[in-house]
Chain A
Amino acid sequence: MTVLPREILICTIARLLQDVRHVAVGASSPMPAAGAMLRRALDEGQRKVRLSILGSVEHNFFTNGSAELFDSAGQGRLDAFFLGGGQIDGMANVNLVGVGTYPQMSVRWPGSFGSAYLYFTVPRVILFREEHSPRVFVEKVDFISAPGISTPETYRPGGPVALLTSKALFSFDSQRPGFRLESVHPGHDLQEILDATGFQFDHDDIPPTTPGPDAATLSLLRDRVLNELSETYPAFAAQWRRDLAEAIPDGASA
């Protein structure tokens, strides 16, 4: 069975979203959106999974402006959210502002968006950054848009639970604190992960391989989820279809 790397990522995201009621994804986040759509499809008939896509007209059930998503998170009605980061360090600090010395930075990124709030209020924040390199995963971020951990006196029902990259899946333990390598995606190995990661993390001597989807999940993904996704992310869905046609020339899905 041929499975594309991005399909492994999407299925992993769906796994991380088990039991959520309401998940929000950023405006240009096709893979987290696909993972959430797969979760919704897998749970159909058992539970209702609500998906909010920031900035989307179609996937927006709010009626109180852009503040309502944050208000709903403050009320405890948002279970999961995805956060990227130009830099992420071993304490799960996230930097969305830039490289160098603030404020006159040598590289400036757009800014922190809602991270400094949602990282505190959403119980299951999944750090998702495809590029797995030492320039992204640094020992210490240049600017803390949102801190990975807080002092016990800080109100913090939320925080990071996992970090997913193009190479591996990590979990985050806020008590220790630090990341642990949970699994390595097919085609990659531990040494490669060590070389590409600028911070220390726990790992087994022989870490497990990230599991791929079963045939039923894969067909749900390539049929229903891919169709749903193409309404909001047409370019991403079209590329996925082209890659599938190339990987599986006879058109069979397995």
Chain B
Amino acid sequence: MSEDLRALVRRIQPGMTLALPVDYAGVSMAITGPLIRHGAGDLHLVCVPTGGLQVDQLIGAGLVRSVETSAVSLGEAGGAPRFNDAIKRGNIRVLDATCPAIHAGLMAAQKGVPFMPTRGLIGSDILSNRADWQVIQNPFATGDSIAVIPAIRPDIAIFHAPMADRDGNVWIGRRRELAAMAYAATQTLVTVERIVDHSLLADETTAAGTLPALYVEAIAKAPRGAWPYGLWGEYATDTDELIRYAAAARTAEGFAAYMEQEVRA
């Protein structure tokens, strides 16, 4: 394991809330092995706004107490086997959500306000199972009910991006949900394909898509760090590998064997 990655995961304490990005936005798969080896459990995961392989592996490794998510799946490779199994056994608590509600919760944290209203939801079993969400009357109109989502403030946000500079600025392009996660979280840990010598803020073209170092706690270099997921503008998803994992992880034993062999600690 790289020393940098080891330093990153040491910040994660048992019981913390981690925010993790959707499959295609830049998942730091490179940190998954070190995180499992580090062993801080009882985690609450917030999927922004859905989860996949990383979430399934953390659940399979027994580190997860609860997950707030709009979905967990392996996409083309099918259902998430360890997630599904943990639900069937009652081993994890799922706070089912819908994508824009998670974005709303993060937006509230970004603004430093206690909640954010969102349309939809009323009459769904998602809402009726969320004691932490409420429906209020629009104070500016009559007869208009609207759902309100409390601010989501993760302890740590983790993602993977193409590059960072020596000052700790991270280029996220148009994947603005990565910025939303970082604004909302207390700390943000980032793995990158490469570290560049020039300042990302010096050129207006890259500055527009840059998450400033203000929000970034620590960075580690991890080439191909999203694999088997792809990274936008860099490399494509390795669907065959996801299918291989999905088949292996159908049983707890198969999962353990896969992780032993494939996930670098």
Contact status A155-B124, CB under 8 Å = no
The answer to whether A20 has its CB under 8 Å from any CB of chain B is no
Cβ–Cβ contact A116 & B120, under 8 A:
yes
Shortest beta-carbon distance, B226 to chain A, in Å? 13
- Interchain CA distance A57-B229 in the complex, whole Å: 13
Complex Cα gap A55–B76 (Å): 12
Main secondary structure of the interface of B (DSSP, over half): mixed
- Contact A66 B71, beta carbon cutoff 8 Å: no
Task: In the complex, identify which listed stretch (B10-18, B31-39, B169-177, B253-261) lies at the interface while the others stay far away.
Answer: B169-177
Convert A46-71 into 0s and 1s, putting 1 for each residue whose CB lies closer than 8 angstroms to a CB of B.
00000000010100001111111011
Interface check B25, CB cutoff 8 A: yes
Chain B 105-124: CB-based contact to A (< 8 A → 1; otherwise 0): 00100000000001111111
- Cβ–Cβ contact A114 & B70, under 8 A: yes
In the complex, chain B residues whose CB is within 8 Å of the CB of A145? 98, 124-126
* B90, B98, B146 — most chain A CB neighbours (10 Å): B98
CA–CA, A71 to B146, complex, Å? 16
Contact with B along A106-124 (1 / 0, CB 8 A): 1011111111111111000
Partner of B70, one of A27, A111, A143: A111
Stretch at the interface among B1-9, B79-87, B150-158: B79-87
Q: Mark B71-95, 1 if CB is under 8 A from A, else 0.
A: 1110110011001100110100110
A208 proximal to B (CB < 8 A): no
Chain B min CB distance to A69 (Å) = 9
**Residues of B in contact with A, size category:** 35 or more
CA distance A57 to B173 in the complex (A): 12
Does B120 contact A121, Cβ atoms closer than 8 Å? yes
Query: Do B88 and A105 touch (CB < 8 A)?
Result: yes
On chain A, the number of residues with a Cβ less than 8 Å from chain B's Cβ atoms is 46
Q: Which residue of B lies closest to A105 (CB)?
A: B87
Complex: chain B residue closest to A144, CB-CB: B125
* Residue picked from A57, A62, A70, most chain B C-beta under 10 Å: A70
Q: Please tell me if the beta carbons of A155 and B119 are within 8 angstroms of each other in the complex.
A: yes
- Taking CB atoms, residues of chain B closer than 8 Å to A62 are 174
Q: Say whether A65 contacts B101, CB under 8 Å.
A: no
Chain B interface residues toward A at CB < 8 A: 22-25, 48-50, 69-73, 75-76, 79-80, 83-84, 87-88, 90, 93-94, 96-101, 103, 107, 118-127, 129, 143-146, 174-180, 232-233
Could you give 26 example pairs across A and B, Cβ below 8 Å? A55-B24, A55-B75, A57-B232, A63-B174, A63-B176, A65-B25, A66-B22, A66-B25, A67-B100, A74-B119, A103-B93, A103-B129, A106-B88, A111-B69, A111-B70, A111-B72, A112-B97, A114-B99, A115-B98, A118-B120, A146-B120, A150-B122, A151-B123, A154-B145, A155-B144, A155-B145
Ranked nearest first, the 6 interchain pairs of A and B with the lowest CB-CB distance are A111-B71, A65-B176, A117-B120, A110-B73, A65-B177, A116-B98
